[in-house]
Each structure stands twice: as C-alpha cells, then as structure tokens.
Amino acid sequence: MDPSVVKAYRALHEAQNAISRAQTLDEALQEGLKTIIGNCAAESGVIWYADGQAGNALRPFFWVCSTDLTSCSHVPGEGSVGRVFQSQRAERYLTFTEGDDPWTVRDFAGIDVTAMICVPFSAGERELGCIQFINKADGSAFTAEEADVCEMMALLAGMALDDNENLLPMWKPGRTIIEVRDVTREFQNGDTVTKVLKGVNLDVYEGEFLVLLGESGCGKSTLLNILGGMDHPTSGSFKYMGQEFANADQKTLTEYRRDNVGFIFQSYNLMPNLNAQQNLELIASLVPNPMDAVEALRIVNLAGREHNYPSMMSGGQQQRVSIARALMKRPSIIMADEPTAALDYTTSIEVLSVMERIIAEGTTMIMVTHNEEICRMADRVVRMRNGRMDEVTVNRRKAHATDLVW
C-alpha cells in the first residue's frame, strides 16, 4: 500500500481515538485538532465555530498557533472561513501564489500564511463551522493527500460528535428571567388542606421553550398560574427579573401580568359577538404600546380573516386568534395551558408551527401539555409528579412542529 495512504489512515485512526476518549466537546475538538496537525506537520490550526447567535458569526474555538485569536471573527460567506462554512465545500490552497485570496494571505491575524486547507465541520445535519490548517512546519507545501486527510478528518470528527450526544454543543440558556424557589401551594376547603405544590424550584431562561409535563392533577396549572401572576404561592419565592412577587398585592400582580405575560388556554375564550380583529382590539385598549391587530393576525397566518366571527372559524383558527390576542401586548413570556388539547392533529401542528415562529423571534414560552410528542420541540422539558419537579431534561436536537407525529 502507498505509504501516504498508510500514513493517512494512521492519522485518522489516532484522531478518532482522541475524540472518542474525550469527555467534553472542548476536549474532543482540541485533541482531534492537535492529532491532525501533528500528522500533517502543519504549523497552525484553528477550529472556527459558528456561535449560534443571530448572524452566526464564526469565532475561533480552539487554535494551535502563537497568535491570540480571541478578537477575531468571520462573517458567513466572507473570507475562506466564511465561504467554507456557507458552501460546506473545502478550499485548498496547497501553496499560495500571486492572486490567491488576499485577505487570507496578508491579514490572517498576523500569521504569514503560505499554504492553507480549510474544510467544513459538521455533526450530522448540524453545521458547526470549519477547520483551518495553516502552513507546513518545514515551510513546504501541503500535499494533496494531506488535504484529503484533513477533509476526511473533519468529517469523521463530526460523525464521532454526532454519535456521542454528550459531546454535542450544549444548549446555552439565556439570562434567567423567572426564579422559583421552594414554592408551595395549599388549598384549604373547610378543615381539609390540600398540598398541591410541595416545594418547586425552577429557573426560566429568556427565549427558551419550556414544556411542563405530568399526570393530571400533579399541579401543572397551579404552577403556571403562579408564574403568570394569577395566583400567590403559599410559601416560597417567585421572582421575575429579580423582583419578588410571592407576596405582591393584586395591583402589582396585575401590572406584572399586563406588562409581561400573554396567556393561551385550551378554550379560546373569544367574544362570540366580536370578529377576530375586534377581539384583538379589545386588548389593545387595555395595554400600553399594543401591537396592531391586523399585524398580529398576519403573524398567526390569519391575514384576510379580520372580519370573521369565532363561529365562522375552525378550532385551530380560533386558537390562532387567541395566540394573536396574547401577542397584542408584545409579551416577553407566553404561558400556554394545553393549547392544543382540544384540537385534532392537523390543526395542532398549525398552532404549534405558529408558536415555533414566535419562539424563534425571541419570545419565551412555557407550555403545559399532556402530549409527549410536543416535548421534542422544547428546549427543556420539566416533568412534574405529585407537586414536585421530578426531572428536567435538555433537548439537544429540537424537532420542528411539522416533524411531530401522533
């Protein structure tokens, strides 16, 4: 066998081992990159990682070179890194000649680049970024075989990451907007006291889709009512943006609800004698800075239905009007209590698709449901049992509403 092929296989094998031994994503990427750089005798290497923020800027995640790259970033589509990330096609500059990409040659963070290989880096369907190998340590050019190894390496590293869910990048929570500590809720009927919430602790992060799941009667709606400022805990602390509301008076709670929380329930609670637009305009008069009713209907895919009365609309359409009504106050959080329980499969998906878009645009969503399948769309799933939080799971791979089947 050709010695260069043997060498390539050895490099791949070593890098794959390094990745499978790793305990964290950081370790996997660092060990993988070091191994290939060693095998290709490259001078420098950088893993550029899409930061997942708006714009998906590519930032250096790990690098082997003497220059500090902390302040570097790339725009998708621009420069070799951005182009490779966007096109998912490798760029190979085995040696640079006159006329090659001038940005890469001259300005790469002060490194005098003479040869470069830049390959896409993805795990399964998720595009993570790209990996750049720069300059041979001895000043010679990269060989075509080495370029193949680098490409194959990035592919295998991505597959190894895809196989090992634990190594996939963690979902990063936004800042905490709601903090619930040791919350209990008891109901007194005559001499009997029912303990419904028995010490709940929960943080809700900005922009997340949190699903509350649990058997009938476990306290989901009771908890949601406290989070939404419709009820007080018997004991414990409930903070929104650092402000304590556990013992707040009615006026303060009403203001909290009005300014921050949109509600959606199983029943649509639309006024039957008002059309869709009028149902929304009823809210507009109650809140500061309301959204335009026609715009809110457009967001829920009901443009043109402004003058329809509830009786003329399907359950899914009525529920979308009630979502539009929740949007009217431009809430930072939407709390939805079994919003699809009364709907058939197709209309449920319509409603969930609308919610998915609203979440993607930055609204935090807390949804109570019995439907396990909806959990696949969530960032986090909180399972409640008998007044307590039983388990919290983070979804590393979120499904789209249209992927759900039941």
Ligand X SMILES: Nc1ncnc2c1ncn2[C@@H]1O[C@H](COP(=O)(O)OP(=O)(O)OP(=O)(O)O)[C@@H](O)[C@H]1O
Residue 218 binds to ligand X (criterion: CB under 6 A): yes
Q: How far is CA 178 from the centre of its chain?
A: 18
Please count the other Cβ atoms lying within 10 Å of the Cβ belonging to residue 123: 20
Cβ closest to ligand X, residue 384 vs residue 401: 384
Which span (15-23, 150-158, 190-198, 216-224) binds Mg ion, by CB under 5 A? 216-224
Distances (CA, A) of 33 to 14, 93, 178: 11, 19, 40
194 binds, among ligand X, Mg ion, none (CB under 5 to 8 A by kind): ligand X
24 binds, among Mg ion, ligand X, none (CB under 5 to 8 A by kind): none
Q: What is the C-alpha to C-alpha distance for residues 266 and 46, in angstroms, rounded to an integer?
A: 51
Per DSSP (E only), the strands in 28-110 are: 42-50, 58-64, 91-93
Q: What is the C-alpha to C-alpha distance for residues 222 and 386, in angstroms, rounded to an integer?
A: 12
Cβ closest to ligand X, residue 143 vs residue 194: 194
Residue 187 binds to ligand X (criterion: CB under 6 A): yes
217 binds, among ligand X, Mg ion, none (CB under 5 to 8 A by kind): ligand X
Neighbouring residues of 261: CB distance < 8 A, sequence distance ≥ 6: 228, 229, 331, 332, 333, 334, 335
Q: Do β-strands 364-369 and 333-337 pair in parallel, antiparallel, or remain unpaired?
A: parallel
187 binds, among ligand X, Mg ion, none (CB under 5 to 8 A by kind): ligand X
Residue 369 binds to ligand X (criterion: CB under 6 A): no
In whole angstroms, how close is the CB of 243 to ligand X at the nearest point?
24
Which span (68-76, 214-222, 285-293, 295-303) binds ligand X, by CB under 6 A? 214-222
Cβ closest to ligand X, residue 222 vs residue 277: 222
262 binds, among ligand X, Mg ion, none (CB under 5 to 8 A by kind): none
In whole angstroms, how close is the CB of 151 to ligand X at the nearest point?
52
AA identity, residue 165: E
Which span (101-109, 186-194, 252-260, 358-366) binds ligand X, by CB under 6 A? 186-194
In whole angstroms, how close is the CB of 370 to ligand X at the nearest point?
6
Residue 196 binds to ligand X (criterion: CB under 6 A): yes
Lay out the sheet containing 192-205: strands in order across. Answer: 192-205, 176-189, 235-240, 243-244
Q: What is the C-alpha to C-alpha distance for residues 290 and 304, in angstroms, rounded to an integer?
A: 20
Are 134 and 156 in contact, with CB atoms under 8 Å apart? Answer: no
Identify the helix (H) or strand (E) that includes residue 243.
strand 243-244
Size of the site for ligand X (CB under 6 A): 12
Residue 376 binds to ligand X (criterion: CB under 6 A): no
Which span (220-228, 350-358, 378-386, 397-405) binds Mg ion, by CB under 5 A? 220-228
Q: Which value, to the nearest 10 degrees, does the dihedral of the CA atoms of residues 262, 267, 273, 274 take?
A: 30
In whole angstroms, how close is the CB of 221 to Mg ion at the nearest point?
3
Query: Rounded to 5 degrees, what are φ and ψ at 152?
Result: -65, -40
Residue 250 binds to ligand X (criterion: CB under 6 A): no
Residue 220 binds to ligand X (criterion: CB under 6 A): yes
Q: What is the C-alpha to C-alpha distance for residues 58 and 123, in angstroms, rounded to an integer?
A: 16
Among 221, 318, 319, 364, binds Mg ion (CB under 5 A): 221
Q: Which residues bind Mg ion (CB under 5 A)?
A: 221
Q: Which residues bind ligand X (CB under 6 A)?
A: 187, 189, 194, 196, 214, 216-222
